[in-house]
Structure 1
Amino acid sequence: MLKFNIEFRPRIPPSNTLTLGTLGPSGTSSEYALIHVVSQLISEELSISTQLFNSFPELKEALLHNQVDLALVPHAYDQINEFYMEPSLELGFIFTYPTPIYGLAKKKNSSVIFKGSRLVTHPAPLPLLSKLLPDSQDESEIKVDLSLSTSDAAIQVKEGLADLAITNEKAAQIYDLEFISTYGKIHMSWSIFQKKSEEVHV
């Protein structure tokens, strides 16, 4: 496993409380990576808190409005350019860290008839679907809907709103699902963004 040796030294707020944000609800791969970042930043002089958001646009707005000091975003997010191109934000650090194992999950002790079933997934892991389905199963017979996160997908299955979810093992554990099949970990790269320091004009 890659060790995250952090060289990034974020600007510390006057309160000495650094707030980090990423995608939620609890169980996302982003939260998994955020926990690792926090473990590398912990010090006696600094208090660290975390916040989870329902979407990356909400996270971006929170960073712009000083609700969080740092925002963690995976490079698999298809609109990460919205962070890179925002004039008020700057890249603080890039690192690599693997996700939890991904797989196709269902409710425990339930049977699944693939034909006509509803599957939910965040857009990023959707390409894994062909690897997760049985060889005999035709993807076109499954209704696929997109969700805001891997945890949101797991929650929909837990609540009976969907039959299957592409999710990770952390979310599957939290929301009491079981894997039908697994793909493995994704070796992901991540960006940490912060607001640009305000320039003083004389």
Structure 2
Amino acid sequence: MARHDTAQSYQITDSALSQIPAGRDLTIATLGPAGTSSEEASRFFRGHLRARGHDTRLRLHDRYEEAAATLAEGEADLLLVANAYADIAAFYMNPDLRLAAVFIKDTPHYGLVAAPGVEVPRLVRVATHPAPKPIVAQLLPAEYELDSLVLVNSTSAAAAAVRAGEVDLALTTAPAARLNGLEFISRTRPIRMVWSAFTRADLVGEQRLGQQRIGQQRSDEQQAGPVPVGAVLRSTA
């Protein structure tokens, strides 16, 4: 039976987390680099784990699939994924994974950022992770027109693209904007997000059935679904 714990006003539903041996050191793998919503959610989750007697560490990766691979290889114990991620089903369906916990936590504030002192053109190229791209149209100030979206692996990668001069604007988080020395040119807003924490079956006393490479096998339907990272989406408005 699932158990509910409350920490920092957010409720955590324990699906299998309590079955991980008490006192075990735990490594959480999630999406990086520093400044992502996943990093902030992981830091909150670490506080919950420490309160349960676990020492924890955090590993950040460029893609959720890379984070999942470290879980499969025994280099991490938990994988934290935002439920808005288009390919999260691969983790839910993997026979070697178990859903350990679920919680709701708002992301940091998102907004459109530019490099300070750089003139932003009327037609803008905007870098964004695929999941929050609908927010671009919501936040783009009226004086700008979207030329194209450039899809990248994370909100922090989007911020880095602006810093490198590869795009005009980025949809990113307040922490990533601060780390990259960027300025918001739009209003900001958080996203109320559901987060899923996965662990390996063997860590909760169950046999690993499939030994399948986590996150690597996708159905034809999944492959045809989300727009791949690195694609440039031209505005039709």
CA–CA distance in 2 between the matches of 1:44 and 1:95?
16
Residue type of the alignment partner of 2:57: S
Structure 1: which 5+ runs fail to align?
none
Identity %: 36
* 1:158 Cα deviation after fit: 1.1
Cross-structure match for 2:114: 106
Does the C-alpha gap of structure 1 residues 42 and 31 become closer, same or farther in structure 2, counting only changes over 3 Å? same
Aligned equivalent of 2:25, options 13, 17, 27: 17
Cross-structure match for 2:150: 145
> Is the counterpart of residue 127 in structure 1 residue 124 in structure 2?
no
Does the C-alpha gap of structure 1 residues 147 and 80 become closer, same or farther in structure 2, counting only changes over 3 Å? same
CA–CA distance in 2 between the matches of 1:4 and 1:178?
33
Matches within 5 A, 1:1-150: 2-5=9-12, 7=14, 8-9=17-18, 11-12=20-21, 16-43=24-51, 45-115=53-123, 117-139=124-146, 142-150=147-155
TM-score (norm 1): 0.89
Partner secondary structure for residue 131 of structure 2: coil
CA–CA distance in 2 between the matches of 1:179 and 1:104?
6
Cross-structure match for 1:157: 162
* 1:47 Cα deviation after fit: 2.1
Does the C-alpha gap of structure 1 residues 105 and 58 become closer, same or farther in structure 2, counting only changes over 3 Å? same
* 1:5 Cα deviation after fit: 4.8
Does the C-alpha gap of structure 1 residues 137 and 161 become closer, same or farther in structure 2, counting only changes over 3 Å? closer
Residue type of the alignment partner of 2:40: Y
Cross-structure match for 2:174: 169
* 1:53 Cα deviation after fit: 0.6
Contact 1:4–1:40 (Cα < 8 Å) also in 2: no
CA–CA distance in 2 between the matches of 1:133 and 1:27?
21
* 1:10 Cα deviation after fit: 5.4
CA–CA distance in 2 between the matches of 1:10 and 1:28?
29
* 1:133 Cα deviation after fit: 1.3
Partner secondary structure for residue 184 of structure 1: coil
Partner secondary structure for residue 149 of structure 2: strand
TM-score (norm 2): 0.77
RMSD after superposition: 2.1
Residue type of the alignment partner of 2:26: L
In the alignment of these two chains, the number of paired residues is 196
Structure 2: which 5+ runs fail to align?
1-7, 209-237
Does the C-alpha gap of structure 1 residues 32 and 144 become closer, same or farther in structure 2, counting only changes over 3 Å? same
CA–CA distance in 1 between the matches of 2:60 and 2:35?
10
Q: Deviations over 1:104-159 (max 9, x none)?
A: 001122220131x32110001100111111235433xx121100000000011112
Partner secondary structure for residue 83 of structure 1: helix
